[in-house]
């Protein structure tokens, strides 16, 4: 079941110019689908989809999910929606909770209404492992969540509640995917809210010391983008009725400390430039709203959806580093 792919369908990818969204768009186009990408480029980048713009099966709508009319236009004649659009980042939500709420909750509700009114078959949407909040037990099991630790976590939990209500009230087939620390090609190293892996890679390529928040012993279930693409496809195509209205963890099912992550990145980049092997990280204060440890149980996804992730963190980092080296060493050369 896990090898099923979406073919010959019309798919809307919201946030399609972002890191995850653009990888989804590219794969869907390769598989002979018609793809509509909706993005306002607040965090997405046009260069992420530049190779797709000339493809007759790819349609870009530049617009904002906070505009219900834009959402309705984007969902016309669509079979499936992969909703990736959101204002990510825990620190960003602490700095600006109002915009985070407007995009992640009001925008999400707009999309649900548009999907309902358009009669779309299925709505698969991105959730977040931040929803587990202060729940201490590991691994994280979908049904056991704690209190949210940031405005971002609140918004992503509200998404799950809204999706379930729309599923129950209106019969929309919704499936939520709780992403755990996704990484891979096209993940931007720029800006204060960039994720750890591209930031570390960028610093090392530039021969500077990456900054680690806290002691580096905090751990995450780092998840390569290919596993996420696989999960989105099987969620769209699953015929299991018990999957509908449900939430599934999307991860590899292993945890890696931030210190271990740094060491792997340094080793891999050292193959391109051995002076990188001498770089040490610097340590700063722990970030507000961060959880100490995160590890996913993927048993539910395996049992109901047939999800079997193919890429562990090392294989994923090897593929990602090749991309980062090409992109960032050219910039810094």
Helix (H, G, I), strand (E, B) or coil at 301: helix
**Contacts of residue 164, Cβ cutoff 8 Å, sequence gap at least 6:** 174, 245
What are the φ/ψ torsions at residue 125 (nearest 5 degrees)? -130, 155
DSSP letter, residue 139: S
Report the distance separating Cα 183 and Cα 179, nearest Å.
10
Q: Which residues are catalytic?
A: 152
Half-sphere exposure of 107 (CA within 13 A, CB side): 25
- Concatenated DSSP letters of 42-80: SS--GGGGTTTTT-TTEEEEE--TT-HHHHHHHTTT-SE
261: left (phi over 0), alpha (psi -120 to 50) or beta: alpha
What are the φ/ψ torsions at residue 18 (nearest 5 degrees)? -80, -175
Instruction: Tell me which residue of 92, 128, 125, 94 sits closest to 110, measured CA to CA.
Output: 125
Instruction: Tell me which residue of 2, 23, 131, 21 sits closest to 82, measured CA to CA.
Output: 21
Q: Which long-range contacts (CB under 8 A, 24 or more apart) does 91-94 make?
A: 91/192, 91/193, 91/287, 91/288, 91/289, 92/152, 92/193, 93/150, 93/151, 93/152, 93/153, 93/155, 93/289, 94/150, 94/151, 94/152, 94/288, 94/289
Report the distance separating Cα 20 and Cα 183, nearest Å.
9
289: left (phi over 0), alpha (psi -120 to 50) or beta: left
């Amino acid at each position: 079941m896990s090898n099923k792919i979406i073919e010959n369908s019309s798919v809307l990818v919201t946030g399609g110019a972002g890191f995850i969204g653009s990888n989804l768009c590219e794969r869907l186009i390769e598989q002979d689908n018609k793809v509509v990408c909706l993005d306002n480029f607040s965090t997405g980048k046009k260069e992420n989809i530049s190779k797709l713009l000339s493809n007759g099966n790819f349609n870009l709508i530049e617009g904002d999910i906070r505009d219900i009319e834009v959402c309705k236009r984007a969902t016309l004649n669509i079979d499936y929606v992969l909703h990736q659009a959101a204002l990510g980042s825990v620190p960003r939500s602490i700095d600006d909770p109002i915009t985070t709420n407007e995009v992640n909750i009001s925008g999400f509700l707009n999309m649900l209404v548009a999907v309902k009114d358009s009669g779309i078959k299925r709505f698969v949407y991105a959730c977040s492992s931040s929803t587990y909040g202060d729940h201490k037990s590991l691994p994280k099991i979908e049904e056991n969540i704690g209190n949210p630790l940031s405005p971002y976590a609140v918004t992503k939990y509200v998404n799950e509640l809204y999706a379930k209500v729309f599923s129950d009230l209106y019969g929309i087939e919704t499936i939520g995917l709780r992403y755990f620390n996704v990484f891979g090609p096209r993940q931007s190293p720029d800006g204060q809210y960039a994720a750890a892996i591209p930031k570390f890679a960028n610093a090392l390529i530039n021969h500077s010391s990456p900054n680690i928040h806290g002691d580096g012993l905090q751990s995450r279930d780092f998840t390569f983008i290919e596993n996420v693409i696989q999960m989105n496809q099987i969620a769209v195509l699953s015929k299991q009725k018990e999957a509908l209205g449900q939430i599934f963890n999307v991860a590899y099912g292993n945890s890696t400390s931030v210190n271990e992550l740094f060491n792997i990145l340094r080793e891999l980049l050292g193959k391109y430039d051995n002076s990188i092997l001498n770089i040490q990280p610097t340590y700063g204060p722990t970030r507000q709203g961060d959880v100490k440890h995160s590890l996913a149980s993927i048993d539910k996804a395996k049992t109901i959806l047939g999800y079997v992730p193919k890429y562990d963190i090392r294989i994923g980092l090897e593929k990602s580093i090749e991309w980062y080296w090409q992109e960032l060493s050219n910039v810094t050369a």
